[in-house]
Amino acid sequence: MGLEIVLSGKSIYRSTFTICPISDRSKEVDKRIVFSFKGGHVFQGEHRTSPTQTIEGNIWQAGTDPGVILLGISFSAENQVLLNSVHIAKPGKASESEIDPGLTVRTFPIGRTFPE
**Is 12 within the bounds of a domain?**
yes
**Is 65 within the bounds of a domain?**
yes
pLDDT value for 111: 76
**Is 56 within the bounds of a domain?**
yes
37: which residues sit within 8 A by CB, 6+ positions away? Answer: 7, 12, 13, 54, 55, 57
How far apart (Å, rounded) are the C-alpha atoms in residues 35 and 14? 10
Number of domains in the chain: 1
**Is 9 within the bounds of a domain?**
yes
Q: Considering Cα of 88, then 37, then 58, then 109, what sign does the dihedral take?
A: positive
pLDDT value for 26: 52
**Is 114 within the bounds of a domain?**
no
Bridge partner residues of 108 (DSSP): 2
Binned at pLDDT 50, 70 and 90, residue 36 comes out as: very high
Boundaries of domain holding 79: 2-19+31-108
**Is 80 within the bounds of a domain?**
yes
| pLDDT beyond 50 at 115 | no
**Is 83 within the bounds of a domain?**
yes
